[in-house]
Amino acid sequence: MREGLCGRPLAVPPPLASLAAHAYTVGKQRLAGPDATTPPTAAHPHRLPNLNRGKALIDLLLDGQVALFLLLVMALVLSLSFHEFGHAASAKLFGDDTAQRMGRLTINPLAHIDPMGLAMVIFVGFGWAKPVPVNPYNLRSKWADLVVSAAGPGMNLVLAFVAANILQFTWIPGEGGSSMGYGATVFLYQMAVINLALMVFNLIPLGPLDGHYILPYFLPRELGVKYRDFNAQYGHMVLMGLLLLSMVGVPVFSTVFGIGRAILPYLVVV
């Protein structure tokens, strides 16, 4: 996410490891559709391992799924880094070099990953990256705040598009995988799904998420002012309430993942 004059760096939907329930385990199962001829980006069901939902990433490691754990962490770190880079680059484009001066105009994960936020993802199931600082008074256009806020989720959409189409292009019919190998097949699918989940989650217009900067541009002026006041007072509490409901088993954020997976087939153009 981006950060204006205030904000908190919440960015990763809970529980991230439930993505593993829709990814492919490293084992003997084949990564394919029902007939092993179509990639998992296709618009129909495909075979998936029966992992328990609601796990933190550490549970995958404890279950002995070391390769899946490492691939998920790698995909997540890259996804968050590009998300934050999108905010920084668009802010620079519109005249604000705050992020650049603070070393954030880069895709280097060391500049963007919050160690505590990443640890929370691994051990609890949700977390955050460092927010990108943006000074709105330096932005040269009235639309700049919209573009800067949308650039992070937009970068996630681009990554999902690239990953899905590489997987589609390299898929070997009948083999149940990419010509680049089993690990690449797992990684590309996870990259696509994780990025779509991050995009959808960060577009939620609550609390510090990117969506709260975007929504007012699509509301009448008076309603937009009321929304900003509501979000400033109650947005964080509502978002935390949704997080707590998700943690006790209410399928709040499974909807986020479901929307992301529903979008996936429409990204494939090759």
| CB-based contact 113:77 (threshold 8 Å) | yes
Among 19, 48, 11, 21, residue whose Cα is nearest residue 191: 19
- Token pair recorded at residue 260: 């992301």
Active site annotation includes 3: no
User: What crossing angle do the helices spanning 115-123 and 66-93 adopt, rounded to 10°?
Assistant: 140
Q: Which of 3, 84, 175, 222 is catalytic?
A: 84
| CA 54 to chain CA centroid, nearest Å | 17
Give residue 72's Cα distance to chain centre.
12
Q: How far apart are CA 100 and CA 91, in angstroms?
A: 9
How far apart CA 246 and CA 155 sit, in angstroms, is 26
Q: Are 185 and 167 in contact (CB under 8 A)?
A: yes
Rounded CA-CA distance 254/270 in Å is 29
- Could you tell me the two tokens for 12? 């990763």
Distances (CA, A) of 114 to 84, 118, 129, 185, 221: 12, 6, 5, 28, 36
Q: Within a 10 A sphere around the Cβ of 3, how many other Cβ atoms?
A: 18
Q: Hey, which residues are catalytic here?
A: 84
